[in-house]
Amino acid sequence: MKKKDLEKQLRAYGWRFERHGGNHDSWTNGEIFEFIPRHAEVKEMLAKKILKKAKNHPPKEK
């Protein structure tokens, strides 16, 4: 899966970009962090795992 498609889906689930790390970018829903590798392509199984976590942990309403 292309990294920008993964990021687009994360935004759709309400997650936001937090910061750049050494080899990964940090995304959060406000409580939980997920680290996305900085490659043009993210392995399909990893992308599915990340999206499943994002779907099951939406941002909390204030």
- pLDDT 10s per residue in the chain (62 long)? 999 999 999 999 999 999 999 999 999 999 999 999 999 999 999 999 999 999 999 998 75
What pLDDT does residue 36 have? 96
* Domain covering 3-56: architecture: 2-Layer Sandwich (3.30)
Length of the chain, in residues: 62
What pLDDT does residue 51 have? 97
Proportion of the chain in helix, strand, coil states, percent, rounded to 5: 35, 25, 35
- Cβ distance 12 to 27 under 8 Å? no
Q: What is the largest CA-CA distance in the chain?
A: 34
What pLDDT does residue 62 have? 56
In whole angstroms, give the CA distance from residue 43 to residue 35: 13
- Cβ distance 53 to 34 under 8 Å? yes
